[in-house]
Amino acid sequence: MSIFGSMKTAVSGMNAQANRLSTVADNIANVNTTGYKSVSTSFSSLVLPSSGGNYNSGGVQSSVRQSVSDQGDISYTTSGTDLAISGDGFFIVQGADGTPVLTRAGDFTKDDEGNLVNAAGFMLMGYSYDAGSPAVVVNGFDGLVPVNVNQEGLTAIASTSGVFKGNLDSGANIAPVAPATLPSANAATTTADTKKFSMVAYDTLGNKVMYDFYFTKTSVAATPPPAPPAVNSSWQVAIFRNANAATGGTSSFPYSAGGAVGTTTLDFDANGKITNSTGAVNIADTVTGQTIKMDLSGFTQLGAAFAGTGTPNGQAASPVKDVTIDGDGIVYAKYEDGTNKPLYRIPLANVASPDKLTLQSGNVYSANGQSGVTVTGFPQTNGLGTIKSGALEGSNVDLAGELTEMIESQRSYTANSKVFQTGSDIMDVLVNLKR
């Protein structure tokens, strides 16, 4: 046995306990850090070969482990831009150098430019709705832009599409008029069997534009038919600008300024379902210059009263009242009139082994060869968690456990120092033998 060897073993033990104490200190210092993930120290023995009756003391090696995959407690706050992840995944943020990194710290607030930035100064990244509904880039960060919630002034969105659905009474009679006097000819004498509905859309300036929809039965199969026909009955659909309706008499006809802005025919089978392949009609408004594609496939022809409702897209001129974020990560601008407009969609990213990520300053992580490559997706898809708005994930540090480890580390360090001191005393004895 080597006296120097035992002293070196004691030194390795003190170094290992010093590393353990460092992780304890880091954990305690960050016990209130949002999204912080605790670190711990593990030990492994270093053994030197021994021969005969001689034992060569080895030492101990310490390594640091992260508990990144352990969920911290979620607490609710009063800020709608505070975000927490319930489940797997990380926010994608960007530092001053422009490099995307990962974090669980969702304490985001608006900076002077309206970007969402957390306490460490990292900017939240997302996909913009400017070019339509965003698609995620699975194996990279391409297409991500800073999430900016500055929405000032008035915003108006022109209508481009809509859905009109309801029921047409199967008991309605065929209109007893010639084709030249149907609504599409703008000269109809409407009866109870011609049903009128109205719908409000929006022009490019956010002005309301009302359209009148006329539904008139134009044909019906023989009763009883010799065989079930593909088309049991047909209805003509004619659409007019309400502002062009006649102001005198008992009817809105004739409409001025060119008549109908859209016409089509809806065919129904014996079960009252539309047989048209699309069930769609375009509103070509020459006054506003807009084309609005209307989906009529939701109509049925059943033995019930007429009913219909239209839901176009678009929005009247309205100021932004608030910004909200839902569990799917969609950032909405909430307008004063109650409508919502999607601005961004926040993705989440994950790796195969989160506990192997490289920890960087600011409570952020980067992928490496041991963690696996970063895979991006939207919340609540492919095993990723849910985003909770107005909430924060706390540190997963167990303070009582850390204080216990601190005491254990202190005791172990003291014991190793005694071994070193004893070896030093033995060396003094050897030196004094010569005197």
DSSP codes, 152-194: -SEEEE---EEEEEEEEETTPPPPSS-GGGSGGGT-----TTE
Is the pLDDT at 258 greater than 90, yes or no?
Answer: no
Question: Do 244 and 257 meet the contact criterion of CB atoms below 8 Å apart?
Answer: yes
Q: Kind and range of the H or E element at 413?
A: helix 399-433
Least confident interval from 139-148, 270-279, 375-384: 270-279
**What Å distances lie between residue 22 and 17, 290, 398, CA to CA?**
8, 67, 16
Confidence of residue 19 (pLDDT cuts 50, 70, 90): very high
Which residue type sits at 315?
Answer: Q
**What Å distances lie between residue 130 and 116, 156, 377, CA to CA?**
18, 14, 19
pLDDT: which is higher, 280 or 430: 280
pLDDT at 164: 94
The correct CATH number of 159-313 out of 2.60.98.20, 3.40.225.10, 3.40.50.1820, 3.50.50.60 is: 2.60.98.20
pLDDT at 267: 92
Which has the closest alpha carbon to 263: 283, 278, 244, 248?
Answer: 283
pLDDT at 370: 94
At 207 the three-state DSSP class reads coil
Mean pLDDT for 369-383 is 93
DSSP code, position 244? G
pLDDT at 388: 96
At 136 the three-state DSSP class reads coil
> Where are the CATH 2.60.98.20 domain residues in the chain?
159-313
Tell me the pLDDT tens digit for each residue of 216-233.
Answer: 988 887 655 555 667 788
DSSP code, position 51? B
Relative to beta strand 161-169, strand 300-302 is parallel
Strand partners, 219: 234
CA distance 140 to 95: 17
Confidence of residue 202 (pLDDT cuts 50, 70, 90): very high
CA distance 281 to 239: 9
Which has the closest alpha carbon to 55: 122, 105, 5?
Answer: 5
Question: Do 100 and 92 meet the contact criterion of CB atoms below 8 Å apart?
Answer: yes
Cα 400 to chain centroid distance, Å, stands at 36
Helix axes 399-433, 3-29, angle to 10 degrees: 160
Confidence of residue 336 (pLDDT cuts 50, 70, 90): confident
Q: What average pLDDT does the chain have?
A: 89
CA distance 117 to 125: 10
Q: Kind and range of the H or E element at 335?
A: strand 330-335
**What Å distances lie between residue 326 and 331, 380, 408, CA to CA?**
7, 11, 45
pLDDT at 237: 94
pLDDT at 189: 66
Rg of the chain over all Cα atoms, to the nearest angstrom: 36
Is the pLDDT at 356 greater than 60, yes or no?
Answer: yes
Question: Do 92 and 345 meet the contact criterion of CB atoms below 8 Å apart?
Answer: no
What is the chain's length?
435
Is the pLDDT at 1 greater than 60, yes or no?
Answer: no
Least confident interval from 35-39, 49-53, 75-79, 318-322: 49-53
Tell me the pLDDT tens digit for each residue of 388-403.
Answer: 999 999 999 999 999 9
pLDDT at 47: 84
**What Å distances lie between residue 298 and 214, 251, 304, 334, 413, CA to CA?**
16, 28, 15, 28, 76
- In the chain, the largest separation of any two C-alpha atoms, in whole Å, equals 135
Mean pLDDT for 179-206 is 85
324: which residues sit within 8 A by CB, 6+ positions away? 80, 331, 332, 334, 340, 389
CA distance 420 to 435: 24
Mean pLDDT for 296-309 is 93
Which residue type sits at 44?
Answer: S
Least confident interval from 59-63, 123-127, 409-413: 59-63
Relative to beta strand 348-350, strand 90-94 is antiparallel
At 269 the three-state DSSP class reads coil
Q: What percent of the chain has pLDDT over 70?
A: 94
pLDDT: which is higher, 103 or 336: 103
Is the pLDDT at 59 greater than 90, yes or no?
Answer: no
Confidence of residue 319 (pLDDT cuts 50, 70, 90): confident
Cα 7 to chain centroid distance, Å, stands at 58
pTM: 0.68
Confidence of residue 318 (pLDDT cuts 50, 70, 90): confident
pLDDT at 180: 76
DSSP code, position 414? H
Question: Do 321 and 66 meet the contact criterion of CB atoms below 8 Å apart?
Answer: no
- The HSE-up count of residue 427 (CA atoms within 13 Å, CB side) is 12
Is the pLDDT at 295 greater than 90, yes or no?
Answer: yes
